[in-house]
Amino acid sequence: MSDHTRFILNESDLPKSWYNINADSPVPPTPVLHPGTMEPVTPDFLSVLFPMELILQEISTERYIDIPEEVREIYKLYRPTPLLRARRLEKALDTPAHIYYKNESVSPAGSHKPNTAIPQAFYNKQAGTKALTTETGAGQWGSALSLACSFFGLDLEVYMVKVSYNQKPYRRILMETYGAQVYASPTDRTNFGRSVLADNPDSTGSLGIAISEAVEAAATSNGAKKYGIGSVLNHVLLHQTVIGEESLKQMDMANEYPDVVISCVGGGSNFSGIAYPFLRENLKNGKRTRLLAVEPTAAPSLTKGVYTFDYGDTARMAPIVKMHTLGHDFVPPAIHAGGLRYHGMAPSLCALYDAGYIEAVAVQQKATFEAAIQFAKAEGIIPAPESAHAIRAAIDEALDAKAKGEKRVILFNLSGHGHFDLAAYESYLSGKLEDYEYPEEAVRQAMTKLPEVNISA
Ligand SMILES: Cc1ncc(COP(=O)(O)O)c(C=O)c1O
């Protein structure tokens, strides 16, 4: 065991390839279906939204996919990211556990999201795309894609969930500073946005609605615009595996190996990014690390959702995938972890969870902010509310190890900082933040609106 606190890799240690779980997953991938025909999608359908290189990555079963040099050069602006031992937090908890965290908040946009935004912009530029559309919830993904588009000279339209647009003006300004156009969704720019506003002029939006608007804007642009996605799809998860590959090397420098790897889940990309390389070590090299996904009780896709085929968006324009879902018309309560409010989850992660390779837990938001503040006071970094879910679970693991008198090695992913989320901290500190448990009954009702699919996967 090392007596260091920070484990820093050299530029030359930056991974040269991404790791594709589809090569090793013991559970076969389920088909992605066309939302109209309910048949497996063709590359033609997907090519309306994505450049061919990303479609090929989506369906690839190659174990490793080379990271283009142009992408690695840009990664070098902030990667390899540091891995730290949270010694002061361990002390505050008086735990025998060793707590490590991978700090993805050091990227220029403040989260792990540029790890995929940069390659997505790169492959689009390479394919001749001039403009992208996307949605954003909390604003982290929109910021990351704005940054990446500015690097590659692409225009970007961002449909930002209205409640976040109003709560987080500085995220909007950040995106605009990088050159993006940001709209509060639902907007009157798309058919779907107009239909939502006709039904409910005061709609505060949802990620499902914003995805529908961004997809419609790209799909009806006659090829002028493509769509960038921040999570859920396989190519996004793939790009995030740089987190886990670096962490493996850094744990090696620390002379320890994690008993448990923890991360928050919205659509599943930062979790997969850190966890899949450790899962590979479990599957191929006899390691036994537990992989724990943490979600809010307000949007509990894994722990309360049903594992079935559902639409990826509210307007039923995006592909249908098999996932743990709360129903595609899920309009989440206005909890503060905006990036965790999606109704579904990455299909590969759901399949692995269903088969018992991954664990999941849901945590309440007050306990989450309590953990965030404990971490901030001990380690100095104010975490994004999303990342604070992982911190809550890491602290719970450390306290459990203490109760059992065990030395447990815990690694969690700090997916982002919370500098633009201070209004949420203010709500917590002034006692306004409420706990919320998404009702089983709402999930049951939503299941009556699932697509009728004739595939027994
Ligand atoms: C800081 C942060 N962490 C986590 C997430 C959740 O996304 P994912 O599950 O794709 O990592 C988000 C999404 O916006 C985020 O902003």
d(Cα 305, Cα 325) in Å, to the nearest integer? Answer: 5
DSSP designation for 190: S
Closest residue to atom 5 of ligand 1, CA basis: 339
Q: How far is the CA of 266 from the centre of ligand 1 (A)?
A: 6
DSSP designation for 339: G
d(Cα 164, Cα 162) in Å, to the nearest integer? Answer: 5
Q: What is the mean pLDDT of each run of 10 residues along the chain (457 residues)?
A: 94 98 94 92 91 96 98 98 98 98 98 98 98 94 98 98 90 97 97 97 90 95 96 96 99 98 98 98 98 96 97 89 93 72 94 98 97 98 97 98 97 98 94 92 91 76
d(Cα 438, Cα 433) in Å, to the nearest integer? Answer: 16
Neighbours of 400 (CB within 10 A): 13
Query: Which is it for the CA torsion 176, 49, 447, 296, positive or negative?
Result: negative
From 135, 340, 375, 417, mutation site for ligand 1 pocket: most ligand atoms within 8 A of C-beta: 340
Residue 330 is predicted with a pLDDT of 84
DSSP designation for 448: G
Closest residue to atom 15 of ligand 1, CA basis: 339
20 CB within 6 A, ligand 1: no
Give the dihedral of Cα atoms 374, 262, 387, 61; nearest 10 deg: 170
386 CB within 6 A, ligand 1: yes
Alpha helices, DSSP H only, in 355-418?
365-379, 385-404
CA 196 to mean position of chain CA atoms: 26
Residue 293 is predicted with a pLDDT of 98
327 CB within 6 A, ligand 1: no
Q: How far is the CA of 198 from the centre of ligand 1 (A)?
A: 31
If phi over 0 gives left and psi between -120 and 50 gives alpha, with beta otherwise, what is residue 356?
Answer: left
Strands (E), 104-212: 131-136, 155-161, 181-185
> Comparing C-alpha atoms, which of 56, 41, 21 is closest to residue 320?
41
Phi and psi at residue 225, to the nearest 5°: -130, 145
> Comparing C-alpha atoms, which of 265, 369, 382, 387 is closest to residue 326?
265
Closest residue to atom 4 of ligand 1, CA basis: 386
135 CB within 6 A, ligand 1: no
Closest residue to atom 14 of ligand 1, CA basis: 339
Q: What number does the ligand 1 atom closest to the CA of 417 have?
A: 1
Residue 335 is predicted with a pLDDT of 65
Q: What number does the ligand 1 atom closest to the CA of 140 have?
A: 16
Residue 313 is predicted with a pLDDT of 86
Residue 457 is predicted with a pLDDT of 55
Neighbours of 452 (CB within 10 A): 6
Confirm if 264 and 295 have CB atoms less than 8 A apart. yes
Confirm if 368 and 388 have CB atoms less than 8 A apart. yes
d(Cα 273, Cα 245) in Å, to the nearest integer? Answer: 9
Phi and psi at residue 198, to the nearest 5°: -65, -40
Confirm if 140 and 163 have CB atoms less than 8 A apart. no
342 CB within 6 A, ligand 1: no
d(Cα 168, Cα 457) in Å, to the nearest integer? Answer: 41
Confirm if 293 and 360 have CB atoms less than 8 A apart. yes
d(Cα 205, Cα 168) in Å, to the nearest integer? Answer: 14
Does the predicted model carry a pTM greater than 0.95? yes
Rounded to whole angstroms, what are the CA distances from 15 to 9, 80, 90?
A: 11, 8, 30
- Residue written as token pair 């174990």: 63
d(Cα 121, Cα 156) in Å, to the nearest integer? Answer: 10
Q: How does 318-343 read in b/e, with b if 16+ C-beta sit within 10 Å?
A: bbbbbbbbbbbbbbbeebbbbbbbbb
Closest residue to atom 12 of ligand 1, CA basis: 339
